[in-house]
Amino acid sequence: MDDLLRRAEAGYSRAFGGRPAGCWIAPGRVNVLGEHTDYNDGYSMPYAIGFYTAAAVSRSTSPTWQVWSEATGETVTFGPSRVSRDLSRADPVPGWASYVAGIVWSLSTLPGVRVGGARIAIASDVPLGAGMSSSAALEIAVLSALVDLYDIELSVLDRVLTARRAENEYVGAPTGVLDQTASLMSIPGHALFMDSRSNVIEPVPFDLEEAGLEMIVVDTHVRHSHATGEYADRRRDCERAAKLLDVASLRDVNHVEYLALPDRLLRRRVRHVITENARTLAAARALQDGTLGDLRYLGAAMTESHLSLMADFEVSCPELDTVVQAAIEGGAWGARMMGGGFGGSAIALVNADRSDEMCDVIAEAADLAEQPSPTFYLAVPSAGAARIDT
């Protein structure tokens, strides 16, 4: 963490001179269960990981926002016309800086809120494009900084919704609230049980170390984008199915009602959402009352989740399937693809004393399949966003 903060502050000094008013951090996340359920008013169970984005930020007297990125080495500057309240009249900022501009825009549309200019330097160790929500980490770090610097009063829920609105409407990525919630609200040693309809968030015990387990993230290096393509198609499938079934969302459909859909593809999409909600709810209840104390029994639900995402929701890819199969055959308690799909990462729940061996097994399987060599990360349940005074 100290190195990340130093990099953000050094970037600020190079780009703008002097020192920032402060540094704000926000983590990436993994999702144990509950994939493609958040935008269907369903359940999910993410937690923050120990990889963070740091934003070194100061207020500016100029009505512009200057954003420097360690990843690209460039500084992007935009003014009020790029974040006009009426997006039809705006000229949105493209590329990575759109997430920052989206936060400025989303905040500025709130009643009574004024967001002044800022100088922002970004450094991050959240892997990009790997399904660990680097975009939400960037959004929450910048949002936290601007809210603090301009004394904007927002509840935790309003911060989450403001960040999601930035990604949905400004960036154009049709994601739900899972990523921003996990980045903002996570606490060490716990996962978050999220009910996306009621917006009730409950921490549930998730002490992997005590259970003698580790959660490995396996980055396949197959890159994806939520802003375009099949992710948006899946969300449209769910919305179309809900309309045909005359329900507010797929959260309201049971195991019998979806069979009335004449479209076989839509039946598969709905079946995934129904079964994924059931898996997540059952696991969360068991964690809350202590009956999953050793956590190993989550493995079967994780593997069932992958099979559903692969066959019914069709968001996996050969590289992810190879990782999951190798992990299961190698003795993992469970494994599944994670995130929006079509690339990114898988997670595997393994005995801590076999973690290195498991990574070797997966790497060998990828090599035999002539797929890119994966990169491995350890996903420890970590703290959410915070201001760090340096």
Catalytic residue among 38, 41, 125, 179: 179
What is the torsional sign of CA 332, 337, 339, 345?
positive
Name the DSSP letter for residue 150.
T
- Spell out the residues 6+ positions from residue 103 whose beta carbon is closer than 8 angstroms to its own: 139, 142, 143, 146, 162, 163, 166
Give the residue among 310, 296, 144 at the shortest CA–CA distance from 206.
Answer: 296
Q: Estimate to the nearest angstrom the gap between the alpha carbon of 236 and the chain centroid.
A: 20
Say how many Å lie between the first and final Cα of the chain, rounded: 11
**Is 179 marked active-site?**
yes
The torsion of the CA quartet 102, 197, 30, 69, rounded to 10 degrees, works out to 10
Q: How many CB atoms lie within 10 A of CB 322?
A: 20
Strands 118-124 and 43-59: antiparallel
Provide φ and ψ at 204, rounded to 5°: -125, 140
Give the residue numbers annotated as catalytic, written as ranges: 179
